[in-house]
Every structure is written in structure tokens, then in C-alpha cells.
Structure 1
């Protein structure tokens, strides 16, 4: 077994001792067994080193100048981000009082000097195995929790977001069937328009739901190609024009110059469509506008800004989290959020991110940021 593979399998150990000879001896012994090693000779550097390396085990000398090992252990155990890492004390003292003190401070075990290699390796292996098992269990519990939240979110989508357009379609069709012969042409046009709008919303939501499920199962891959960004945005704006006009909302694109970008066109359009859908949905003032701004320098930035109801800091903090709060705000009740989960995942697949700025009563700004090479963005 090579050193790299065995190190990954066996774990990472931080050795703390003020005597270089001890560091060398311990380091060689553990490295020969396949462990990855880091060493610290000054007790004042231990906490920062633990933060940096995030080891699976700490071998900590007790008798050191300035600050002893017990004091260092107290610091580590007082830190909620570090207190889960097991500490084995290295001590020349065999007095019961010293050993008990170390264990009472949170130490996992102790080894006396001079070291018996078999005893040292046995204790190290035991505590690293326990640590790695706990880490694995924690990871599995987090995944189970995510699956539970995912299930709740999907139930929420099915129970609320999907039922809305389905009920809308069903209700309008029932009205038409009941009074079709006497329905005026203009009213018929409006009713058919409502059916078309609801079915489009339903289709988009189902598409997002299926896409998001594929992302979660790691089935969806980025397929980049060169395409006209302005044309792609204009296609999405055209899809939204009817709904926007009904609310008296106008959509503006800046600048009008065309850009050719290299990205997954379907992903980009999905993100823009969701941005626009939410911007229109939460633009509550007739005569309001939505601004789409494009920047194409080192990063591609597509910004959609509305002047609608905005969001509180609490809502912003959970936009991209798999949460399903019991007391939903009006914005959540209107269905915002699920599409943004998908958008966030699609942005990450591009190596990018989504930036949100919002103020209650003043509107929201959503920005897609995607890294681009110098050759990737070309003025058409």
C-alpha cells in the first residue's frame, strides 16, 4: 500500500512536543504505519494549527515551557469547533494524579515516555478508528436529515405549488363546460389564456422539480456551448411578457449589445426564467419595472432587479437551504424558493454562485456570477 492511499485511510495526526528529537521519533514511527503527520513545537501555536490541519488525533506533550499540555487541552475542549478531536497525552509522569487530571480535562488517553511502539500504535489506532467512525456516522446522519428535508420540500411543492395551477386549469375548464355556448368570445379568450398560463406554470414547475431531482442524484452534467446571451434572455422575456403585462410590469435589458458566452444554455435559461418569474410575482405595484443587467468581463454577471415587496434578512438567510418552516411568510406561500434551490445548484455546477440583495418594501436583486476565461466572452 502506498503512503498516500494509506494516509487517507488511516488518518491525520498532529504531534505537539517541544523536543525536536521526540517529534522526529514519533513522526517516523507513525509515518511508517501510514499516518499523515504534522508537528508543532510551541504550545502557543497548537490551536491555530488544529484549525488549519483539522487532524483526526492530537498527540500532546504535557511538560512544555510557557504553557503545559493540560492548559492547551483546556483551550481545545472549550472550542466547539475543535473539541471533538481526541487528545492523547504524552507524559513522563506516571503519577495517578497527573493521568486523572488529563482525563478529566477531556483527554481521551495517555502514553508514557519512553514510548513502547506497540502500545503507542495500539492506542493511536483505537482512538483514530473511533474518531473516523463518529465522523462517518455524523455524515450519514446529516445525509438522512437532508433526505428528510428534501422529502418535506417535495411534499410542499406537490401539496401547494402544483395544486395551484392544476386547480386553476380544472376550475376554468369546468366553467367553460358549464356555459360554453353562452360564453362571449372575449371572455372565452380570457379563460383560455388563464388555462394556458396555468399550464405553462405547471410545466415550468415540473421541469424544475425533475431537474432538481437529477441534480441531487448527480445525474445532471454541464454541457457548455457558445451561444448568444442576449437572444437567450430575450426568449425568456418573451415567455414572461404576457404575465408581466397583466401586472403592468415592464422588463428592460441593459446593455442591448449582444454577447456570445460559453456555458450550458439550458441551465442559464432556467436560472434567468426563475429570476424573472419571482421578480414579476413580487412586483406588487402597477407600472413597476424589472431591470436585467449584463456584465461580461472576468466573470459573467446577469442581474435581475425588481422594485417589489423585497425580503427580510431571515428569508434571505434560508433561500438556498433545504428548510420548510412551519410559519411561512407570504413570500414563501406564493411559491418562491424551490426554483431558487435549483438555480443555486446549477450555478455551482458552473463553478459560479448566486448573490442576493434585498430590502423589505424596496425590491430584490438576484445576480448570477459565472467565471469565464478571457476567450469565453466575445462581443458579437
Structure 2
């Protein structure tokens, strides 16, 4: 379509210019060529010459293809737009016989009414010519005029009157050639004009549909109006003047007004798109001026009397160039700030402006032999915008397709999670059913130790010294105290529910916890003569549930003592291994086979073997340890040799990079938490603001991520509450997330809440968990 409508081409024989009202075309091969009748014609201002008479002695010459109002007479004065006159040209034709195909003229709209005489005979009339405005009737039809020439000389006289248009006289170019060639050119132009109009109609509908498909693409709706304006301009201003040719002369002035409406549509909606690109306050103010200007222009076009319409609308068209310059500045700044599609808009607008300047030059100098670009310059500007809107639609489609796939994957993941949650519920129920056994397992060892010491005291009470009695009583008191503390911790049954083990995390020193655990099992070790050797060269701090991790240490240390030989040794070591903190407990005792290890760490309840001193157990200790370590994303490794002993290695994350994740959506929270844990974050989860504040009373995380909308205490209230409670030195980065948040921007409400300096970022939950985690880490960096 672009190539077919390109009118910037080299015209045949550009050097055959009329001089002093005469043009000699005897050398032209009209069998395949047509020529434009350009150059200097005779011109008689405010005169209608007798077409059969000779030319008067007083002659003026005027260039055709250029309106007479832009040219000067012999006195150096410019002709006014309104008036009448006569053009005259003598064409010397090649010798021909009567059997040759006749010549024809292709006549564009000559502004704005005319009569054409050939060799003194009237051959065409358009509108009503008159010496006064009262009787003048404009017409903008285009015509093909066959010429029955009987000689090799053509005397062409044209009477033109104009009282309705700024551009007066022979503004277009009259083409001369053989009838079939003229008809062929006419058909090509006529066909291409219809193709352009159909194409513009299609594009207008297409952009309107894009907007209705995706209401966020407001530029698509604006482009729909731009194409509607171009459709109006194409149907009224192109050489074929399709609407004018379809309707009678009574519609000339309404169609003239209609064409200016098309200009207003293109100016306003095209300018709105361009001026809005850099998103700067100055250009947004200019949009207000553009709207006012367009409305005034529209009012002028619709209601100004015909006598003033041409001059006033011409002034508005010239002033519109200011918005074109503003548009170029706007897209230049958008290009500088790397706005979306700014490069495409910049070069397209620049090419359109260059095309417009070339048109002005060619219209002023029609003898160059080139035809103006016309609407082609406008196409250079609008097509990139269509591409931009289309690419935006493609991106929306791909995004929708991606979201559909993501929803399907999440549906599958949700089904898997439901199954997993069901298994966890069953597992939790099993834990609750065996909770009494767990309590008895953990309480039996220290109470048995106390019982055995009391038996010793009772058996040899009279032989035991007061110092030894006091020592034994202190051991018994310590054992009972530890048992009561353990009972108080373990009786919190609510910590084992359908969602696994609830963690109350805090930052603590592992060395101190190990000392407490060793102290609590000391009575049991003393009775068997077992020495506990500790090798902890480092001071390690971790973030975890101190009570539950202590249960793991105690359980494994108790088992090591239980299955160690009398008068042997239990070794405890603390070290760093890569990203993990390793706590290793080794004993010299019965040991285990691979099958026993597999059964002990599995979920099946088994009967525990008695210890080296006949101690009994439930077999649930290692299962409890695995459950607790899984909740901490820790690991338990067991190595054992029958008859030699066993080694238990507990691996915990040494990272203190912690995040408090607050969200009432369990699925979203668990997905994001899992990704962050893979990135070495220690994640503390909370389902609402109150639970989050409870965590913050025990631990100060490295980061707080909170949902905006939550039942009860929402994200804004949580942040305000925390800011009121925190100490001066407890400055924690806070990231706010929401499913309502746009993919970029949209955080102006933070200023209203006074949180713009507190909240580091406001992010959308529509991102994948991996992408959201990456954004969070980039913000913190």
C-alpha cells in the first residue's frame, strides 16, 4: 500500500516547461508517455477572456501548480486568494493523422470553479464561475476530458473564479496524454485511493478492537481516531477526490468542512500520543492547550461563514506546526529517557517532518519535476504507531498465555499441595496420637536417673557422707527441674497441627544451648560412668526455634548415652561446613545396621531396643528429630557400625539473613518462602499482622515483607505499629506487596500514609515467586 501510493517520483520530461504561455511537446512520444503542463502560463487577473479571441497585448505570466495568492504581479504585489482570472496556454503537438488515438486532459480540482475551452470550444465546466461571490458556486470534482484535436496546435483557455478556498487557481497539475494512458493513470490512482480508504477503515476498526480487547491500551483507541481522521483526509484531499466525485456540487462546502474535521482528529489524537510519551509535567500541560486548540479549531471549521472559512482555517493549519515541533521535542526527550518505543516514534516523526518540508518546497517549485509526498509523509508517522500498538497487543497476548500456563501449573501444584497437606494432616494426627509416648520417652531418662540415685541413697544411707548426699540431692533436683521444664515445653500440643511444626524462631548461641542440654543429661551419664567430652572451638549463633532444636540435641545425646557402653565416652563437636553449621555427637556403644537406621528414620512406628543398662524407649525419638529438622530445613546424617558405635551429624543453616514474611494467603506465602529458603534466607512466616508483631517481639529480622491487604491488621497498620514499637537502632527494610499493585509504579499512596521513607518498595504479587525474590534481593543490594 505504501509503495502503491508513493507519489514522490520523477515526472516525464520535466524540462518541457511552458515559456511565455507556449509549450512545445513535438518531441514527446505520447504512445507511452504523459506530461504535466507546467511552467509559465499567460494570466489575466480579474478578466474572463474571450476563448475565441486573440490574446490581449497586456500580458502577465504565472506559474501553474502554485496558487496565485503566493505569486506577485508586475508591480510586486501578491494576488489575493479571492477573485477570478484567466489562464491561457498554447501547446504545440506532434504531427498526427486522424486515425490516431485522441488526446485527453486529466484535470485535478482547480480552485474552486472553472470553465475549460480548447481551441475556442467549451469542453468542461466545474461549478459556477462568476465575477462576484454571490453567484459563484465551488466544485472540487476531478475530470478526464477527451480532446478532438484536428490540428497540431492546442489553444487552452481556463476561466477560474475562487471565493471559497485559500488555495486559488491551478494548484494541482494538469496532465496531457493519449486517452488510454490518461484513463490508465486515472484507474491506478482511483484504485489506490479506494485501497487506502479501505485500509484506513480496517486500521481504525482494528485499533478500536484492540482497545476493547485490552482496555489498558488507550493509545489504541486514540490511534483509531487518528486513522479515522486520515480516512477523511484521504477521501477528500487526494488527487482523485473520491467523496467530491461521488456527491454533487451542493456538498462542496460541507465536504470542505468535513476534511478539516479529519485534520483536527489527526492533530489532537496523534499529538496526544506523542506529547504523552516522555511523561513530563510540561508536556502534560501542553496537552491541555492542545485540547483547547483542537476544540476551537473544530468550532471554527463547523460554524465560520464561507467567506472567512478559508483564511481562518489556513491560519489554524499553519499554527498547528507549533505542536509538530513540540511533538518532535517530546519524542526526543522520550528517546533520551529510553521510554518504550521512543526510538521508533522519533525517527517516524522526523521523517514525516522532513516529508512535509519537502512538500512545501515542491509545491512552491513545481518545475522540479517531482510530485509532492502528500499523505505518504503522514504514513511514515502513523505506521510505527500501529506497529507499537500491535506489538503491545502481542505482548498482552503472550502475557495472557503465560498467565494461563502459570495458572494451570499452579492448579497442578495446588492439587499436589492438597495431597501433601492431607499427608501432613495424617502425619500430625499420628503425632498427636503418640504424644503421650513422646512425653514418656523424653521424661523417662532423667526421672529414671533420679530414681536410681534415690535407690542408691536409700540402700547406703548410713554409709553415705553428708557431702555425697548433698551432691546426689543436687543431681536429683537438677533432673526434676529439667523434667518439669521439658514437660512445660512438650505439653504445648498446638505446635503440632495439620501444617506441620509451628516454629517460634529467635537468634541464639548454639554453645550455650549445648551446655544446657549437657547439664540436663549429666545425671544419666554419671550413673553409667560415661564422660561427655565437648569440643566447640567456635561461637556459633543461628536463627531457629531454640526449644525444638534443644529437643533434637537432647534426644540424640540421651540416645548416645543410652546405647553407650559403661565407662565409655560421648563426644560432641561444633564446626562450620560450607553454608552449614554442623553439630556432631559420637558414642561408643551398640551401633546400628543400615536396616535399623532406615527403620528408625522412617515414619513407621517400631519398637525400640533396650539400652546397655536395660533402658527402655518408644522408638519415636529420631522421628521427632527428623520432623523438627525438616521444619528448619536442616538435615540429620547417621553413620554407625555394629558393636563399635554411632555418629549423628546435625546440619543447620548458619545464615543470619532472615526475613519475616507476612501474608494471609498460605499458598503464596509458602511458595515465596520456599524460593527464599533456597536462596539461603531464613524465613519466619506469619499469617496476619498480630502474629507478625508476636515474632518481632522475639527476633529482629533482616527484612520484613508484608501483604497490603489482610484481615484484621493490614500491612499499613502493621508497619505503623512496628514503627511505634521498635527501638531507634532497629531499622529494618520493609517491602510491601499486593495483588492490586501494578507491575511498575503505583506507590503514590505511600506518601499519603507517610511511609515513603520507610517502605523500600511496593511490588506486585503477580510476578512469579522466583522473579519476585530476585527483585527483592536487587532492591536490598
Give the structure-1-normalised TM-score. Answer: 0.50
TM-score normalised according to structure 2 size: 0.27
Between structure 1 and structure 2, the one with the greater Rg is 2
Q: Which has the higher contact order (CA 8 A, sep 6+)?
A: 1
